[in-house]
Structures are given as structure tokens and as C-alpha cells.
A and B are shown apart, each in its own frame.
Chain A
Amino acid sequence: MADSRNLYQEVILDHNKKPRNWGALADATHKSEGLNPLCGDHLFVSLKVSGPTIEAVQFEGESCAICKASASMMTTVVKGKTRDDAEQLVNEFRDMATGKLDTAKSQHHLGRLTVFAGVRDLPTRVKCAILPWHTLHAALNAQNTISTEADADPMQAPVIGS
């Protein structure tokens, strides 16, 4: 197993300490709640969508550093993107975290989100990183609550050992 401390890079620690776009949008058009009942990660994502564009996005909640940094960086990346582009990032992020997408070899649009590639070696932490993206996907698709353990888990994340 790779040294998981490699995962806790400066950028992740920084976003954990000073999460960007923290809070709830007062004029949200879409919102969703994400919960990982196995570890207690719990967050809320709110969006303001106008036409095809995500104009604003915020999040808040209680979670580990991996989840919080993932959410924070997600908000900075998807802000201003179209819904379709955001959905593409959701898919690519999930594939990277579960080891299906090798960001060194295949084309992708993840940019600096590749700092999370290391979670693929930490099966118990994969869902921490993916949860914000689940929740974003759920918000865009008008699902109010998602759980990583629910039958209707929209992302069908692997349930591994957490």
C-alpha cells in the first residue's frame, strides 16, 4: 500500500482548514444532503443553476479532511461550469477514486483534482472523497438525500470495508 500520507498533501490540508464556498446558498435552485452512515460524513450541497450553467455552489457539513477538501475543491471547480461538464467531472472523479481511471494515462478534465488519486489505495476512504460528488450529482438530479449505503445510491459506489 502506498503511504497514505502522500494523500494528505498541502492543498488538501489547506482546503480542510479553510474550506472554500462554505455555507448554504439563500437563493439555491437545487440542493441535496449526502450521508455516509458508516463513518458519519454528512454534508449539504446547494446550487444556483441558471439555464445550463451552475452559477453558484456552496457546501457545509461535518466530515473528515478528505471529504471536506474534496467538497471544497469541487465547489471551486464546478462554479461557472455547465451541468453537463459538471456531470462529466462527477464521473471522472468517481472513476479516478475507484481506480477505473488512471489519470496518468487517460485523458480527463480533473486538473488539480488529481491530488485525490491516492484514495484508490485506501478502500476505506474512497467514499469520503466521492461523497461530495455524489451529493452534487443528486442535487443536479433533484434527489434531496443520498446515502452511500442506500439501495438507490445514484453513484453505486463500492461498499468496501468502511
Chain B
Amino acid sequence: MNAPSEKMALDVARIRKDFPILDLKVNGRPLVFLDNAASSQMPRQVMDRFVRYQSTQHANIHRAVHYLSETATAEYEIARRKLQAFINAKEEREVIFTSGTTDSINLVAHGWGRKFLSEGDEIILTTLEHHSNIVPWQMVAEEKGAKIRVVPIFDNGELDLDAYEKLFNPRTKIACFTHVSNALGTINPVREMLAIARKHGVVTLVDGAQAAPHLSVDVQALDCDFYAFSGHKLCGPTGIGILYGKAALLEAMQPFKGGGDMILSVTFDKTTYAPIPAKFEAGTPPIAAAITLGAAVDYLGAVGMDRIAAHETDLLDYATRKVTELPGVRIIGTAEKKAAVLSFVIQGVHPHDVGTFLNEDGVAIRTGHHCAQPVMQRFKVPATSRASFAFYNTMDEVDALVASIRHVQKVFG
């Protein structure tokens, strides 16, 4: 693969050449793409993998005995092993291909929650959760008569760990929390939180959608029960994601979806389910997307997750300093440990007007509630503007963001 070498320092100019979309002009201006927390862009090497698969390797998997089916099956399982290595899972069967983080969390809510939760049981969530780590639990809680308990946050966007620990009681069955907040960028102390949950014998799920693109993830070191993340935030395609689960838990769970490929035998009297991971991969899976995601984690691995994290921290520190210097701009989320997200509000200007104006300068940011309305309610804002960084962003792009914000302030001033 033609990715940057491990030995070199992060050469952003060279990396940017891998991403065709970064050459785009928007409204006559060079694209400044700062909406990476919503979805990241794809390098040519990863696109090429998709083309190679479709051109020379595609057929349905796990079925026919012909050459292409065997090749596609092998490549699909190679991709699984790449994802296993990416998060350091102990066994490859602990890595389930899903359609994305939302699908992964729903799989646990239905496959685990509907089987093991009963009336009066408690589910711990936090104020920082994305709606995708709230709504599936509300649906299951309503069905089973379980209760949701919510960890509060401080004004800087950090979780109140004492309050978290106090929520545990004999009725607590599962604790689900995000590794990195999508709306604020807060990196939660997940190791500590997981240790507390383990002490109480409580099952844990970590939403890693915003963490996997920015930090090295080691699920064995974390010792979480479930870890969920998406491919399209990792320079991969949409429609693919991962649920990591400890083998014993996955084996105990009921399937979420029934269909082909997830069975050992079917009669009208009884169906025997396939072992994991097939039990949770009913129907023809997104084979091409899985294999393409395998190439994406190869690419990230070659760039180096530690170097990615270091460069993004530099970008965030620089952007935070520059935006803090702007009078009338308030940063929402000032946790000590943050990853690649700068959420802000401009006094007297609604975020949607900010977004429309920045777009005219070619600057793409996200404006709105970021599917995290409890966070917005906590900070008493209807919405924020959010710039989110990837390893291919530059300091010049941060300057373009700041110049565009100044322009908005001038017009609305």
C-alpha cells in the first residue's frame, strides 16, 4: 500500500495529496473541511481497494464453492482480522460487522438488553451521549420496565465521576457511555469508569464513534464488554461499523436480526443459530464496505494513530487559542482532555447563520444540536457551531476558520 511511511514525521502536505476531495473548490474558495466528526474523507488508496474488490474479487460470501465466492469470503475475514488488530480484540469472532455505531448499539440493546433486563433494573447513561446511545436504551427500558439513570456533567463538559459512582446499586445492570463526546470533544476517563463498573459487576458499553478516529483503542486494556464504532468516521465508507463484544457475552445474547447466514440449521420446528460472529450478521453483509474499511485501518495504521492524535491535538490547541482570542465567542466544552472538536457560540449570531456564512468561504462546519440535545439543554443553548479536525487538516485551515468567524461578526455586529 502506498501510504505514508511509519518512520517519517506526519507530513500533512503529502497526506493531503491522498485525498482527492481536498482539492475541491466550494463557492470559488478552497474547501476547508472541518466537519470530520460527522464523517471523514477517504484517501485514494482506500477507494482503490473498493475498485479492486469490485473489479476482481466480488461474489457473495460463505456460500458457493467457486473461486470468486471463496476469494470474497477470505477477503471479508481478512478485513475482520484487520479490525480486530485495530482495536486489539483478543479473538476475531469478537468483531461483528454492523452498519455503523447506531446499529452496533441497537444490537446490544436488543440482543443483550431484551434478554437480560427486567423490571426495575437500571441502565446508566451520561449527559454527554449522542442520541444513538440514548434512544435504543429508552426503547428497551420502556419495554422491560427498566430505569435510566444519567450521569451529570460539570460546566466544563467533564463528567461528574463521583455522581457516576454513586449511581451504582444492586439494580444496575449496564453502564453505557461515550469515549469521546461528539458535541464537546470531552475525552471521558473510560478506564476509571470501566473499573468502577467492573467492581459492581455491571456490563459496559463504550460508544467509540468519536474516539476510534483519534486515539489508539485497545479493548483488552480497557476491559470493556462492548465497544462500538463506525467506518465512515475512519476514512472508510458509510454503511459499515463494528461492534466489539466479549465472546462469552456475545454467545449469551439472542440474535438481533434473523435471516440467512446466521443459522446452522432451519426447520419449521426449530432453528439453530450459527456461532458468533455469524449469529449477528444475518443476510448478505456489506462485504465491499467491510473490505474497504480494512484498507482504511491499514491506511490509518501506516500514518500512525499516535501521530494522528498528536497532530490533531496541535490543531485543537491552536484553534482553541485563536477562537478564545475572539471577543463575543464562547467555547462550549472546555474539558482538560479533549479530542479534535471545537464547539462554540457567537454572541448575537445563531449557529445556522454562522454555518451558512462560513460555507461561502468554503469552510464546512456542523451547526445544530449534534444529535446531543441533552448537552445543548445542559449549556442552555439551542445549538452550537462545531469545527472538528482530522489529521489532514492544517493550521492554515484553522486560520481560515477564524477569519470567517471574524467576517460573520462584522456583518452581524
List A residues at the B interface (Cβ < 8 Å): 1, 3-5, 7-8, 13, 16-17, 38-42, 62-66, 68, 122, 124-125, 128
Contact = CB atoms under 8 A, between A and B. Distances in A.
Given A65-B412, A66-B353, A125-B352, A40 B368 contact: yes
Of A16, A39, A63, A66, chain B has the most CB atoms within 10 Å of the CB of: A39
A39 B357 CA distance: 16
Interface string B329-352: 000000000000000000011111
Given A65-B412, A128-B352, A5 B357 contact: yes
B382 interface: yes
Contacts of B349: 65
Of A13, A64, A66, A124, chain B has the most CB atoms within 10 Å of the CB of: A64
B284 interface: no
B197 interface: no
Given A39-B383, A42-B382, A65-B350, A122 B411 contact: no
A111 B371 CA distance: 38
Given A3-B27, A4-B356, A5-B357, A13 B382 contact: no
A63 B352 CA distance: 9
16 contacts: A3-B360, A4-B357, A5-B360, A17-B412, A39-B352, A40-B368, A40-B369, A40-B382, A40-B383, A64-B350, A64-B352, A64-B353, A65-B350, A65-B353, A65-B412, A125-B352
Interface in B107-124: none
Contact of A38 (B356, B357, B360, B368): B368
Nearest to A6: B360
Nearest to A12: B353
A39 B373 CA distance: 11
B320 interface: no
B88 interface: no
B394 interface: no
B359 interface: yes
Nearest to B355: A124
A8 B350 contact: no
A159 B353 CA distance: 19
A4 B360 contact: yes
B37 to A, nearest CB: 18
Contacts of B348: 17
Contacts of A16: 412
B412 A13 contact: yes
Nearest to B349: A65
A39 B368 contact: yes
Nearest to B350: A64
Interface in B13-30: 27
Contacts of B352: 39, 41, 64, 66, 125, 128
Interface string B252-287: 000000000000000000000000000000000000
Contacts of A13: 411-412
Nearest to A40: B382
